[in-house]
Amino acid sequence: MINELPIEEKKELEKLVRANDYIGIEEFINTLNKELKEKPFFLNLLGVCKISKKVSKFEIAKEEAKKSRALFKKAYEKDKNFTDALYNLAEISLKTVEFDDVLIFLQKHLEKVGYDFKTVFFLARIYFHLGETEKTINYYDKIIEKKNATKFIFVNQPYIYNYSSKYSQKKYSDYCKKYVDSIKKIDESKLLKLEKEKEQKKIKIGFFSTNFRDHAVMKFFMPTIKFLNKNFETFAFNFTNPRFQDDVTKELKQNFSSWNDIHDLDDIAAVNLIRKNKINILFDLVGYSGGGRLELFKYRSAPTQISWIGYTNSTGINEMDYIIADPNVLNSDEHYTEKILRLPNIWSCHSPLKEQIKVNELPFKKNGFITFGSFNSFAKISDDTIILWSQILKKIEAKLLLKSSSSVHESAKRTLLKKFENYGVDLKKIEFLKRSETYEKHLQCYNKIDIALDTIPYNGATTSFESIWMGVPVLTTIGNSFTSRYGYSINKNLNLNEFIAKNNEDLLNKALNITSKIDELSKLRNNLRSIALKSPLFDTVKFNNDFLNLIRQIT
């Protein structure tokens, strides 16, 4: 298409493209005649410019993203063989969380070509956003079978599999092995010798994370690092994207003995930095979630390496020595490469939340019907979860409030509603709440709920602690994996055995029993925060002492 330009204009555009002068390119395109401007090539190029140029305000960037999406869509509709426009449309759609049209385009393109890595990759990512976990897994499987998998896919597959209704620890372990086998061998001669410091005054403990920022994990981690820093020499190995670092990052920096940014370091440099500091114990707080770097643990950065809190499943890495659990969350260590370290009560402890946010009266008293709720990510609402919740909604006069912990497009809501409808649920019983502007407003949303319903097989964690704090008990089923037993451990530590079900039938019976005793439910709501404060859930002092004793056992 560029060849249609006069020679001088063609040279000018090529010069602008080489310089990545997006503003200049945009100005150049605007000088073209209407016919040329409407050509797919220039529509696509203009879309690229709008999302690539630097802008000062978020609102402007958001508006430019919308314009670029429209341009990519128009370019592809004009030429269905113009795959660059299709890929650009898919990429920007993942950022704007709009999927209706692009999903159809990708599916039709895949039908036409049989297999195309980028198309399958985009479909996998979009379907995860839509809560279609099984489709996501199948698309990633296809990429792995074709031997096209990147590190992102090898890492994402075990993580996403935690959400699967068809979960088995054996299959999960197989996915981990594929990632571990994909890790490149390192030139050992380029690594510093792994050694302990002589005449060490304090044990050196390191923590690796991509989430040293305002992140759910830090609400569990912050009290512990403040405590540990008084007893050990503590080192942060920070892989958090500089763009996302914030006030929580600043607070964390003040509570480590040493802060080390490793965002720009390659694996050899990062391992050598950790070894140079002669760390005794290195904790991974990420695992397969959120862009972790398990390679650093595979290459053995410290004599003892432990997985904790940010990811609660096996890493499949033999060099990861331990994983921290509790007596409730792991009923078997089969298919775990790590040894299990069990804290006496609960695997993690949340900071006490906002005392000034009051617990209100049981909503049933005002509404005359039960309001169930779940504020978990919609990705956790598996097909098995929907089947179970549908049974409850058909047996009990109730409403279900859903509020996702991540951005959700209307298409994701429609997908969920269609599934509930397929199981005979009156859709008037389901209501979606918008994302809250502040954390305080988010917590206040729990005041609309009588009982929280846990997701399966991936239970709520942060949302369950929040729910309990706001006087809302969580009805859960005991699963077979760490992630499917969060709710069990939380309720065991609260002595809320009546909110723990052995299976789906038992959960339905318990839901019927609990909702028939409104006075007892109301009394529990009034007392649950004080019960929780006296329990291991929010007792950071006891938890930190238990954690300290655990570390001393292995040093």
Please give the Cα distance from 483 to 215 (Å, whole number).
19
Q: Report pLDDT digits (tens) over 228-245.
A: 999 999 999 999 989 889
Fold assignment, 2-178: 1.25.40
Among candidates 349, 353, 352, 354, which has minimal Cα distance to 544?
A: 349
Burial status of residue 376 (CB atoms within 10 A of its CB: 0-12, 13-18, 19 or more): buried
Give, in words, the CATH class of 363-533: alpha beta
- Helix axes of 40-52 and 83-96: crossing angle, nearest 10 degrees: 30
Q: How far apart are CA 324 and CA 340, in angstroms?
A: 6
Fold entry, domain 188-342: Rossmann fold (3.40.50)
Q: What is the pTM of this model?
A: 0.91
Average pLDDT, the chain: 94
Task: List, for residues 411-450, the tens digit of each pLDDT value.
Answer: 788 889 999 999 999 999 999 999 898 999 999 999 999 9
Task: Count CA atoms closer than 13 A to 129's CA, side-chain side.
Answer: 22
- Cα angle, residue 55 at apex, residues 51 and 61 outer, rounded to 5°: 50
Query: 451 pairs with which residues across the strands?
Result: 372
- In degrees and rounded to multiples of 5, residue 370 shows phi and psi of -75, 140
Asked if 2-178 and 188-342 have one fold, the answer is no
The beta strand positions in 216-294, using DSSP E, are 233-238, 258-261, 281-284
Distance CA 437, CA 429 (A): 25
- Burial class from Cβ neighbours inside 10 Å (0-12, 13-18, 19+) for residue 78 reads middle
- Chain segment 95-153, per-residue pLDDT in tens: 988 898 999 999 999 999 999 999 999 999 999 988 899 999 999 999 999 999 999 99
CB 212 within 8 Å of CB 289: no
Annotated domain spans of the chain: 2-178, 188-342, 363-533
Per-residue pLDDT tens over the stretch 41-76: 999 999 999 999 887 787 888 888 899 999 999 999
- Determine the residue type at 370: I
Q: Are the CB atoms for 307 and 322 separated by under 8 Å?
A: yes
**Spatial CB neighbours of 328, under 8 Å, sequence gap ≥ 6:** 346, 485, 488, 489, 492, 493
How many Cα atoms within 13 Å fall on the side-chain side of residue 353?
Answer: 25
